[in-house]
Amino acid sequence: MIKTIYLAGGCFWGVQGFFDLLFGVEHTSVGYANSKIPNPSYELVCSSVSGAVEAIELQYDEDKISLEEVLERFFSIIDPTAWNKQGNDVGTQYRSGIYANDPKTLEFVKAFIQKIQERYHKSIQTEVKELENYYLAEEYHQKYLQKNPQGYCHIDLSKASKPL
């Protein structure tokens, strides 16, 4: 069965590039989640006026990759203890977060975070919230690292080919 979750881990280019390499991922897009402004532009998101976060929509086949593995993989590529920052990217649009419309999914995510907190010396800052809205980012952002293999990315994409 195909499930959907929204993940924010800094610049969405790298998060999308990483998850596109995983078996069981059926579709991804990049966009802006939980914006206070309908259909914000990249410039509005970067200005922090929209309150949106750069995120990916991740559709995965739960018969091929579990939500737990999706979360393990996600936490392997971000610093969940960072506040409004990932890599060299700083600002509220780069906060880490996990969003969904399904309360059971959100409960699972919260329990997962409680379980892995012991791995970290600082508190996990990754927000877990209901998805209020998701607007596709501009076309030039979609599959950016496929189009621009030398483009900036704070994520080690080689981790996608390594076992957990």
In the residue annotation, 11 being an active-site residue is answered as: yes
Q: Distance from CA of residue 154 to its chain's centroid?
A: 13
Those residues whose C-beta lies under 8 Å from the C-beta of residue 3, and which sit 6 or more positions away, are 59, 60, 61, 62, 67, 105
In angstroms, rounded to a whole number, what is the distance separating the alpha carbons of residues 137 and 20?
A: 17
Active-site residue (options: 5, 7, 8, 11): 11
* 151 touches 121 (CB < 8 A): no
Q: Which active-site residues does the annotation give? A: 11
